[in-house]
């Protein structure tokens, strides 16, 4: 439990982070501020591991090891960046846990992970790639503030908490020809249109009537040009794929690519594929959820179990593939503006319940 002085220090830190929003992958000043806060206020061993911070509470060798993770990046906005996802709050909350750890003997080692670049999906992957200790954790916990739910409530879901998603690009190259003789060339427009229309049927084939989410959002269908004398020779279809299960997305990608390749063979076209912004599903470990529910209830925290996973994605999915654990939400208020919207701002009133929730998991 934070005393008033500690809470004020955390709120002050949150305001400092808010005032220097930095985009994914360029969180230099944010890292400096977090590092100097931890060094000034705690005895944790703080390491900069190349773009992210690891703060360790070590009691000895051979003890169980648990991890807690926060993100820190802001969103790009015209003219700069802004904290419209509350990652300034998440980092401050984890610093609150750092203060609460001071002087405690828990019979375990605790690692606080301050990762960068959540919004691009790159930051958690960097933690996976640069810290072998992740795989030794017996549990990893992370949270996100979530508008639309009672303020300070703890939002828990068994299984998938947030969807997998990715951007998928199908690029088709053909050959130009005089518009009077399109047969002399190879025009990709019809194939790209057929492909765009075929995707809903592919999704039905994968789901076979199951109610889980698998969806495609057309982002761009770009082909040909403005010269009415030339038959189109190249084009691409950009789609965002999203679902409760990464395996479903993988199956959908396989179908889309097979369709495109078969069409290209028939029509003398060539195709290439690209994935962008890949986020796996953020899925909690069943045993970790059961344990956490017991502890949250024992601590008297108001727990709400969610029926549906969040549609958005979270790069914590990469961490939860390497270590068992749980991702959960802290309600930011029923009427709070949505994440990533202009009116959004992290509410400091969430710091106390969020630190209490993390403390309950220690
Ligand atoms: Zn976000
Ligand atoms: Zn976020």
What the chain holds in terms of domains, given with CATH numbers, is 4-160+282-360 (3.40.630.10), 164-279 (3.30.70.360)
CA of 77 to the centre of ligand 1 (A): 13
Listed in sequence order, the DSSP H helices in the chain are 4-19, 28-41, 87-101, 123-130, 189-207, 246-267, 286-298, 316-322, 351-360
CA of 316 to the centre of ligand 2 (A): 10
* CA triple 180-181-185, angle to 5 deg: 135
CA of 230 to the centre of ligand 1 (A): 43
H/E stretch holding 330: strand 325-331
CA of 223 to the centre of ligand 2 (A): 34
Reported in sequence order, the residue ranges of 116-253 that DSSP labels E, i.e. its strands, are: 139-146, 154-156, 160-162, 164-173, 177-178, 214-223, 230-231, 234-243
Summarised one tens digit per residue, pLDDT across range 129-174 is 999 999 999 999 999 999 999 999 999 999 999 999 999 999 999 9
Question: Given a cut of 90, is residue 97 above it in pLDDT?
Answer: yes
pLDDT band at 287 (very low <50, low <70, confident <90, very high): very high
- pLDDT for 1 equals 83
CA of 137 to the centre of ligand 2 (A): 23
Return the SS3 of 147.
coil
CA of 180 to the centre of ligand 1 (A): 49
Of all ligands present, the nearest one to the C-alpha of 84 is 1
pTM: 0.92
* CA triple 304-310-316, angle to 5 deg: 100
CA of 119 to the centre of ligand 1 (A): 6
Of all ligands present, the nearest one to the C-alpha of 282 is 2
What region, left, alpha or beta, does residue 139 occupy, with left being phi > 0 and alpha being psi -120 to 50 degrees?
beta
CA of 222 to the centre of ligand 2 (A): 30
d(CA 162, CA 86): 17
CA of 85 to the centre of ligand 1 (A): 5
- pLDDT for 283 equals 96
Summarised one tens digit per residue, pLDDT across range 307-328 is 999 999 999 999 999 999 999 9
Listed in sequence order, the DSSP H helices in 131-231 are 189-207
Q: What is the mean pLDDT of residues 289-317?
A: 97
d(CA 167, CA 212): 20
Quick one: DSSP state of residue 153? P
CA of 72 to the centre of ligand 2 (A): 9
């Amino acid at each position: 439990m934070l005393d008033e002085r500690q809470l004020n220090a955390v709120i002050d830190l949150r305001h400092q982070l808010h005032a220097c929003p930095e985009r994914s992958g360029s969180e230099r000043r944010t890292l400096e501020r977090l590092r100097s806060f931890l060094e000034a206020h705690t005895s944790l061993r703080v390491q900069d591991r190349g773009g992210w911070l690891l703060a360790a509470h070590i009691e000895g060798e051979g003890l169980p090891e648990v991890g807690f993770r926060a993100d820190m990046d802001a969103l790009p906005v015209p003219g700069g960046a802004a904290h419209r996802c509350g990652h300034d709050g998440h980092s401050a909350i984890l610093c609150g846990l750092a203060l609460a750890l001071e002087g405690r003997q828990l019979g375990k080692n605790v690692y606080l992970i301050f990762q960068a670049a959540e919004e691009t999906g790159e930051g958690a992957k960097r933690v996976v790639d640069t810290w072998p200790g992740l795989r030794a954790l017996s549990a990893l916990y992370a949270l996100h503030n979530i508008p639309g739910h009672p303020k300070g409530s703890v939002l828990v879901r068994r299984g998938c908490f947030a969807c997998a998603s990715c951007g998928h690009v199908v690029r088709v190259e053909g050959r130009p020809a005089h518009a009077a003789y399109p047969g002399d060339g190879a025009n990709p427009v019809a194939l790209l249109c057929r492909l765009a229309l075929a995707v809903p049927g592919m999704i039905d084939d994968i789901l076979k009537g199951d109610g889980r989410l698998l969806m495609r959002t057309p982002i761009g269908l770009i082909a040909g040009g403005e010269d009415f004398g030339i038959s189109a020779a190249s084009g691409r279809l950009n789609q965002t794929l999203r679902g409760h299960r990464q395996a479903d997305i993988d199956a959908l990608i396989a179908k889309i690519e097979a369709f495109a390749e078969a069409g290209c063979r028939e029509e003398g076209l060539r195709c290439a594929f690209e994935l962008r912004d890949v986020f796996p599903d953020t899925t909690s470990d069943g045993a970790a959820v059961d344990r956490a529910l017991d502890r949250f209830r024992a601590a008297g925290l108001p727990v709400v179990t969610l029926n549906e996973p969040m549609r958005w994605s979270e790069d914590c999915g990469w961490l939860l593939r390497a270590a068992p654990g749980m991702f959960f939400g802290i309600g930011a208020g029923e009427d709070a503006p949505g994440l990533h919207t202009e009116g959004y701002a992290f509410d400091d009133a969430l710091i106390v319940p969020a630190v209490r929730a993390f403390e309950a998991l220690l």
